[in-house]
Amino acid sequence: MKILGIETSCDETACAIVEDGRKVLSNVIASQVDIHAKTGGVVPEVAAREHVLKMLPVLDECLSKADCGWDDIDALAITRGPGLVSSLIIGTETANVISYVKNKPLIPVHHIVGHIYSNWLLDPPKDGENPELYSSEPQFPLVILTVSGGHNEIILMKDHNDFEVLGETRDDAAGEAFDKVARLLGLGYPGGPAISRIAEDGDPDRFSFPIVLLEKDSFDFSFSGLKTAVLTEVKKHEGKMTEKLKSDLAASFQMTVVKTMAIKLARVVEKFPHVKEVHLAGGVSANRKLREIIRDYIPGGIYLRYPQTIIYCTDNAAMIAGAAYFLYQQDPARFKPRTNIVPTTSFELW
Ligand code: KG4
Ligand code: ZN
């Protein structure tokens, strides 16, 4: 079954075609990062106008890269939310119109569920590669850390589309903290990659920022205190900030975020000993340190999985098409052509 997915929840205009929930036939993303770098963050109105300009060219490219015509597409998938409403609406209206005109079932997908299913995505094996490498199927029950700019959760997944949110952020998401600290250090947008780059040369032990674990049995996060602690250090060194100091601040900040998440995941795995895999998803899951430290904190017998390529960590439409397949399999009759999908900003998993 070939599903064409559309994702416009924030600042990427993205379309992809995925077969049977896993095999990515095409994945096209028009990034607006250069535009938003100038303002140090996403301006919703600017993002929406860019989506209008990019939507149809990205759709055309997605079909032609997969060598597909509309007759080859079995269903459409669309990010319904959460996200910026003015951005989401460009995608939902495009999907509504195509569903109406081409008479295709339309599957609304929760953005976070999309990120979860990024761990199922597979690029077709390249020349000479063993196709079996690509066949490993995630095993339930599993625990997912979704960590990006707008959200941060720990989710227990017992089966397809069976999610229990164990914890979430009470203030900033980790990606948001990366972006804000990057701004304090005068680094560009997006902050995550910039921080992790300069952290490579930094000393993670130079500053001991607080690891906030909240109540003993809580799997929630809070990163706003950490951001303030970095701000306090930056102010102390005003006028005498060196490259070395910046790297040390970045490395110490990054290590604090990463250890906080690793400790929480280790606690989840202890509480749910039947968990077979730990998954990382979302923009921050591209972070090398995060992967490394989490591997150290969870027992060796547990499979640590993160998206096959960095493109599937950050926002993309392949994850939306992938998630839609597993939803559709559960109850195909639920998804009809000519349904009018309206965006939502609710984080509640539906
Ligand atoms: O999933 P995503 O593309 O968008 C949201 O749904 O929010 O995540 C974007 C976030 C940004 O905050 C960005 O700074 C962060 O992911 N990010 C990283 C890295 N790459 C992207 N954070 C830490 N390390 C990275 N290597
Ligand atoms: Zn996202």
Mean of the per-residue pLDDT values of the chain? 94
pLDDT on residue 132: 72
pLDDT on residue 121: 96
**347 confidence band (pLDDT: 50, 70, 90):** confident
Best mutation site among 314, 315, 347 for ligand 1 pocket (most ligand atoms within 8 Å of CB): 314
Residue 127, H or E segment: none
Cβ of 114 closer than 6 Å to ligand 1, yes or no, is no
CA of 309 to the centre of ligand 1 (A): 14
Q: What percent of the chain has pLDDT over 70?
A: 99
What is d(CA 289, CA 248) in angstroms, rounded to the nearest whole number? 15
43-84 pLDDT tens trace: 999 999 999 999 999 999 999 999 999 999 999 999 999 999
CA of 347 to the centre of ligand 1 (A): 18
Cβ of 287 closer than 6 Å to ligand 1, yes or no, is yes
CA of 272 to the centre of ligand 1 (A): 28
Cβ of 178 closer than 6 Å to ligand 1, yes or no, is yes
What is d(CA 28, CA 206) in angstroms, rounded to the nearest whole number? 41
Cβ of 315 closer than 6 Å to ligand 1, yes or no, is yes
* Residue 315 CA, closest ligand 1 atom number: 3
Cβ of 285 closer than 6 Å to ligand 1, yes or no, is no
What is d(CA 185, CA 182) in angstroms, rounded to the nearest whole number? 5
What is the amino acid identity at position 109? V
* Residue 313 CA, closest ligand 1 atom number: 1
pLDDT on residue 14: 98
Best mutation site among 111, 112, 176, 178 for ligand 1 pocket (most ligand atoms within 8 Å of CB): 178
pLDDT score of 349 more than 90 = no
What is d(CA 31, CA 247) in angstroms, rounded to the nearest whole number? 27
Cβ of 148 closer than 6 Å to ligand 1, yes or no, is yes
pTM, two decimal places: 0.95
* Residue 83 CA, closest ligand 1 atom number: 6
CA of 255 to the centre of ligand 2 (A): 22
Cβ of 191 closer than 6 Å to ligand 1, yes or no, is yes
**330 confidence band (pLDDT: 50, 70, 90):** very high
258-317 pLDDT tens trace: 999 999 999 999 999 999 999 999 999 999 999 999 999 999 999 999 999 999 999 999
What is d(CA 43, CA 24) in angstroms, rounded to the nearest whole number? 31
Mean pLDDT check: name the lowest of 193-197, 198-202, 236-240: 236-240
**36 confidence band (pLDDT: 50, 70, 90):** confident
pLDDT score of 350 more than 80 = no
DSSP of 242-277, one letter per residue?
-HHHHHHHHHHHHHHHHHHHHHHHHHHHHH-TT--E
pLDDT on residue 125: 76
**Nearest residue (CA) to ligand 1, atom 3:** 314
205-256 pLDDT tens trace: 999 999 999 998 999 999 999 999 999 999 999 999 999 999 999 999 999 9
Cβ of 82 closer than 6 Å to ligand 1, yes or no, is no
129-166 pLDDT tens trace: 777 767 789 999 999 999 998 889 999 999 999 999 99
**Nearest residue (CA) to ligand 1, atom 21:** 283
pLDDT on residue 127: 79
78-88 pLDDT tens trace: 999 999 999 99
CA of 61 to the centre of ligand 2 (A): 22
CA of 197 to the centre of ligand 1 (A): 13
92-128 pLDDT tens trace: 999 999 999 999 999 999 999 999 999 999 987 787 8
Question: Which positions ≥6 away from 111 have C-beta within 8 Å?
Answer: 7, 9, 79, 81, 82, 83, 151, 320
